[in-house]
Structure 1
Amino acid sequence: MTAAPAAEGGRHGRNQRAGNHVQPAELRGAALQREPRRHPLLSAIGGLTGGEEVKSTEFEWQTSDLRAPEENRSRLEGAAAQNSDQRVRANVTNVVEIHQETVEVSYTKQAATGQTSGTNNEQTNPVQAELPWQIQQALKAKATDIEASFILGQYQKPADNTTPRKTRGILAAITTNVIDLGAATRSVSAATDTITDTATPLLNGDAVRFTSVGASTTLKANRVYYVVAQTTNAFKVASVPNGTPINIGTATVSVSKLATTAPNKNTYDGLFQMVFDNGGMRESATQTIVVGSTQKRQLSAAYAAAYGKYQESSREVGGVNFTTITSDFGTFNIMLDRWMPADTVAVLSLEQLIPKFLRIPDKGHFFEEPLAKVGASDRVQIYGEIGLQYGNEKAHGVLRGLSVSVPNA
């Protein structure tokens, strides 16, 4: 992500250190620039916009559309003025969520720079300043947390401070341009690790996803699971094929079997056309297909099968280099993102996505600061509040329920 202006440096100025002691410092740009391969969506949309500041924990934006065009919309010479034609705007809201981590390093750890896990012979340790190194690792982890929230986040706007705010991710935001290739969703009951499903059609090894997880705290709605220990009227699920069953707890859940047939060019074209017809993909430079590792292989195989060969080119968007693919609907950037669900392909109009930051007075948007002493260690807090503005949800689209089988070579 393009570096944000380093204007707000906290109460003690910019990143100041006395030895290894860290003073409050603005980290917004630093947190979002790190390793685009870990968080390509965050890096790209940050590079396009730099992010924007908000002054409330809830923020909103407006969407609108034009009336349908009419050919030869002409008037008679000298005609009276027609009835007025107004367009209605729609308000869309989201919230910033709090990202807060604590890093603590003992005095001994900071001093023992020659100690290693092998023979301790005063040789130089590659890390000479432990606290800054730990902060760097925390920032890397925090950037991937934000990436995951922007993709998978489930909206939560609490009435009070007993539950946290959660920003709505792009997959939850897309409601219009959705194609689900999975089987019809089934509502079933779970107890401990067993799901009761009378005359279940599922077989051992089937890949499934849960569209709702009820009261379960172990299942995730955007993960792929595999059927194990199937019987006539019940089954269990594991996180890997033939794996150990997951303890789901007591819950009513909704499950859908994923497609078993690999997608082809027409599969993707159906989604591209839906997004295009609903007003998306207006800026060719930023229209982007976001895939995980399995769906990247599926996409490459589908286009290779369609055209006899598959040749990628590349271009840079928001400071991030992407490979591209040419389709019937123009050239798309291909964003390989490890946080996109394995059964999912998303088509995003990146120019519509903007990170939103809540500025903390005298500190900044995303900062580190020392915490009070409680013993023989230095403690540092990393803090920021961030949310996603996703524009008009009709500008994006998603394919769900895709096969997760690895394509043949």
Structure 2
Amino acid sequence: MGAVAGQGTTFNLPNYHGELFGITPTETPFLSAIGGLNGAVPTQSVEFEWQTVDRRTSTANNTAVEGANAPTAVARSRSAVSNVVEIHHSTVEISYTKEATPHMYAGANYGAVDNPVTDELAEQIAAELESMAVDVELSFLSGTYAKPATNATARKTRGVLTAISTNVNANGGTARALSKDIIDATLKTAFTNGAKLPQMSTVFMVGPDQKVKLSGVYSAATLNQPTQTRNIGGVAIDTLVTDFGVFGVMLNRWMPAGQIAIVDLSVCRPRFLNIPGKGLLFAEPLGKAGAATKYQLYGEIGLEYGPETYHALIKDLS
């Protein structure tokens, strides 16, 4: 069992009897919650952008006297934020013989015809699409931005964890235990810096270790209440009662072990380059070069994450 490089044949893709169980995790909670591979917004450029605007500082008693002339005109300039789509490209190739022999068993060639894989090509395309989706999930979380000047290197989309720079609670690289004080300080910083923290779309995104520790912190907190659930984008979300609102807790096995992200999902969405005549993510047959069927899987995908100040990141957790 394992990876096969090149063409799939009866020798490297053997058949067996009985039910087929997938043992590698393929869930993509962040990607699914913001629309999934089928819910993306098309773009017609490899780079896409959105805008942010701030407001002037307001003060009490900002008034004028009677009969005064109109004051000097004011306006607020806008700022652009951008990201890029990165290319996800795979190939699947199955020999004619392999396609024709779903009932040829590598193990004991006995008993009923019970191989659940009756179409090897479709099975391998589906498996690779699942792997590509996990690749996208990882990029959307921890991707490091790259916009190369030439085609010598690949474009890379910026992930939401990489994008967060304002509301970061770190400890200089020294690990510390998660506490309610850390969570409160992070939420306070985010709120002070303008994060909306909408209760219906803000989630604590955690890996398995921090999920246990987060539950431990709030099991003793005076503001805790029995765990409830909600559903965001088809993903089941637990809830957490904090001083700043009731937020979701999204378990994501792909989160870095020592981090917790506080993400406003409402401003995040996948962006796909729309390939004319083909779509956003597609499988298409390649030209014949022998006795095999060959498909390529292709998509150009990036993350729009809204204002980075709407999110927060807790780092250096033990």
TM-score range, shorter chain: 0.7 to 0.9
Give the aligned partner of residue 138 of structure 1. Answer: 128
Q: Superposed, which structure 2 residues align to 1:10-409 within 5 Å? A: 38-46=27-35, 50-121=39-110, 123-181=113-171, 184=172, 256-259=173-176, 262-307=177-222, 311-403=226-318
2:12 — aligned with what? none
Q: Verify the 8 A CA contact 2:224 2:241 in the aligned structure 1.
A: no
Distance verdict in 2 for CA 1:170–1:309, change over 3 Å = closer
* Larger RCO, structures 1/2 (Cα 8 Å, 6+ apart): 2
Deviation per CA, 1:309-361: give whole Å up to 9, x if none.
76210112223221111110101111111111000000111111121111111
Contact map agreement 1:101 1:383 (CA 8 A) in 2: yes
Deviation at 1:364, TM superposition (A): 0.7
Query: Are the aligned partners of 1:300 and 1:310 in contact in 2 as well (CA < 8 Å)?
Result: no
Query: Structure 2 CA distance, aligned partners of 1:302 and 1:116?
Result: 53
- 1:281·1:287 contact (CA, 8 Å) conserved in 2? no
Equivalent residue letter for 2:251:
L
Secondary structure of the residue that 1:332 maps to in structure 2? strand
Post-superposition CA distance 1:42-76 (Å, at most 9, x none): 111116x9321111111111111112222333333
Q: Secondary structure at the match of 1:284?
A: coil
**Distance in 2 between residues matched to 1:134 and 1:384, nearest whole Å:** 17
CA shift, 1:379, in A, is 0.8
Amino acid in the other structure paired with 1:397: A
Distance 1:132 1:258 in 2: 46
Contact 2:225 2:241 (8 Å CA) reproduced: no
Query: Which one is further off, 112-121 or 297-306?
Result: 112-121
Whole-Å Cα distance in 2 between the matches of residues 72 and 151 of structure 1? 45
1:109 Cα deviation after fit: 1.7
Name the residue aligned to 1:200: none
Return the alpha-carbon distance in structure 1 between the equivalents of residues 134 and 178 of structure 2.
29
Secondary structure of 1:369's aligned partner: strand
Look up the equivalent residue of 1:41 and give its one-letter code.
F
Per-residue CA deviation, residues 112-152 of structure 1 (Å, 9 max, x unaligned), is 11133421126221111111111111111111100000001
After superposing the two structures, state which structure 1 stretch, 53-62 or 148-157, moved more: 53-62
> Which stretch shifts more, 123-132 or 275-284?
275-284
Code of the residue aligned with 1:165 in structure 2: it is R
**What one-letter code is carried by the residue in structure 2 that aligns with 1:68?**
T
Q: In structure 1, how many angstroms separate the alpha carbons of the residues matched to 2:301 and 2:200? A: 26
Q: Is the 8 A contact 1:180 1:399 kept in 2?
A: yes
Pairwise CA distance, 1:267: 1.1
* 3-state SS, counterpart of residue 76 of structure 1: coil
The match for 1:206 is none
Unaligned residue ranges in structure 2 (runs of 5+): 1-24
CA distance in 1, matches of 2:184, 2:296: 47
Q: What TM-score comes out, normalization by structure 2 length?
A: 0.87
* CA distance in structure 1 between the aligned counterparts of 2:199 and 2:59, rounded to whole angstroms: 25
Letter in 2 for 1:318: G
- Residue 9 of structure 1 corresponds to none
Q: 1:99 to 1:37 in 2, by over 3 A?
A: closer
The 3 A distance-change label for structure 1 pair 50 and 82 is: farther
Tell me the distance in 2 between the aligned counterparts of 1:86 and 1:178.
Answer: 30
Partner of 1:101, secondary structure, is strand
Amino acid at match of 2:264: S
Q: Secondary structure at the match of 1:155?
A: coil
Aligned residues: 293
- The answer (yes or no) to whether the contact 1:323–1:335 under 8 Å persists in 2 is yes
Aligned-partner Cα distance in 1 for 2:300–2:310: 26
Residue in 1 that maps onto 2:5 = none
Q: Which ranges of 4 or more aligned residues in structure 1 deviate by more than 4 Å?
A: none
Indicate the RMSD between aligned Cα atoms, in angstroms: 2.0
Distance in 1 between residues matched to 2:227 and 2:64, nearest whole Å: 50
TM-aligned CA distance change 1:75 to 1:308, over 3 Å? closer
Letter in 2 for 1:89: R
Identity %: 46
- CA drift at 1:37: 7.2
